[in-house]
């Protein structure tokens, strides 16, 4: 019954989703002319509306963060990655700390709103087939964030898990960020159930998903033993993954 209902709801969702992206592709280009803050507000509203669009298919969001984030503090937000639907809640709920993403270069072209923001909003796009160049770009990216007290978002799995089983973390990019952002704090986030939205593929979408983002306590970057700290962070994130 649920899958049968998912067809008309998905047919309703996609035109709304596409309209939001097309509208804000133009709005971003206008607000970008007025500087960083104007563009950021536009992107925040875009992602708020993308969440409301997902409400049309019964998606609910729970943001579990039992503490306040510090002002003028950079964070390295480290999360598992289950689907493309992980991105809007991360942007919206962490908007006060200016989250910027490490993404693959293929996302920089052809996607209304999303490509423009990735190219112009402070994120970095890397070529995963060229690790040396990717690390150089991540280094420059981290240095910019450290200077401006903004935050990085990185998915160390490298790609979506597509189900509840997380992939092994790859540490090279994360280690590069830690090296150039020594005053940042590590912020682990466990994302649960976003994979269920795409459980049937792109059409129909899964309905009635309760997506939970659990934010773990911030960790100061140690001067020594960073590899052990990152392994413990990986274990902490994965220990909270739900089936």
**CATH number for the domain that contains residue 31:** 3.40.1130
**Dihedrals phi, psi of 134, to nearest 5 degrees:** -60, -45
Rounded Cα distance, 178 and 81, in Å: 20
Read off the pLDDT of residues 132-182 as tens digits, 9 standing for 90 and up. Answer: 999 999 999 999 999 999 999 999 998 888 789 999 999 999 999 999 999
Read off the pLDDT of residues 183-240 as tens digits, 9 standing for 90 and up. Answer: 999 999 999 999 999 999 999 999 999 999 999 999 999 999 999 999 999 999 999 9
- Domain containing 11: what range? 2-239
Counted residue by residue, the chain has a size of 243
The pTM for the full model equals 0.95
User: How many domains does the chain contain in total?
Assistant: 1
User: Contact 79/90 with Cβ under 8 angstroms?
Assistant: yes
């Amino acid at each position: 019954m649920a899958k049968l209902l998912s067809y008309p709801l998905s047919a309703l969702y996609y035109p709304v989703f596409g309209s939001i992206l097309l509208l804000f592709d133009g709005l971003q280009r206008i607000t970008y002319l007025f500087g960083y803050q104007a563009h950021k507000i536009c992107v925040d509203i875009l992602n708020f509306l993308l969440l409301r669009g997902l409400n049309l298919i019964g998606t609910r969001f729970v943001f579990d963060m039992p503490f306040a984030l510090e002002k003028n503090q950079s964070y390295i937000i480290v999360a598992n990655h289950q689907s493309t639907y992980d991105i809007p809640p991360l942007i919206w709920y962490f908007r006060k700390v200016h989250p910027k993403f490490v993404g693959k270069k293929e996302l920089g072209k052809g996607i209304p709103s999303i490509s423009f923001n990735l190219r112009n909003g402070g994120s970095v796009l890397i070529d995963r087939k060229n690790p040396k160049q990717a690390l150089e770009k991540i280094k420059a990216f981290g240095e910019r964030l450290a200077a401006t007290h903004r935050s990085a978002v990185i998915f160390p799995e490298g790609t979506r898990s597509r189900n509840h089983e997380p992939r092994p973390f790859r540490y090279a990019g994360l280690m590069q960020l830690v090296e150039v952002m020594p005053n940042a704090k590590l912020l682990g986030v466990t994302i649960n159930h976003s994979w269920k939205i795409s459980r049937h593929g792109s059409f129909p979408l899964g309905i009635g998903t309760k997506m939970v983002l659990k934010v773990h306590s911030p960790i100061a970057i140690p001067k020594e033993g960073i590899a052990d700290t990152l392994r413990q962070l990986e274990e902490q994130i994965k220990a909270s993954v739900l089936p």
